[in-house]
Amino acid sequence: MAKQTGRQGDVTTEKLVQSDCAWNGSPYESYPQGRPQLTVMKMTIPAHTLLPWHSHPMPNAAYIISGQLILEDKQTGNTRVVKAGMAFNESTGEIHRGYTTEQPAEVVITYAGVAGMTLSEPSAY
pLDDT value, residue 5:
66
- What number of other Cβ atoms are within 10 A of residue 88's Cβ? 22
Q: pLDDT tens, 85-99?
A: 999 999 999 999 999
**Dihedral sign for Cα atoms in the order 58, 113, 87, 9:** positive
Is 52 a member of any domain?
A: yes
Q: pTM surpassing 0.85?
A: yes
Domain extent for 102: 42-114
Evaluate whether residue 93 is within a structural domain: yes
Q: How far is CA 39 from CA 3, 64, 83, 119, 120, in A?
A: 31, 17, 22, 9, 12
Residue 21 inside a domain? The answer is no
47-86 pLDDT, tens digit per residue, is: 999 999 999 999 999 999 999 999 999 999 999 999 999 9
Report the number of distinct structural domains present in the chain: 1
CATH number, domain of 79, equals 2.60.120.10
- Give a yes or no: residue 75 inside a domain: yes
Single-letter code of the amino acid located at 77: G
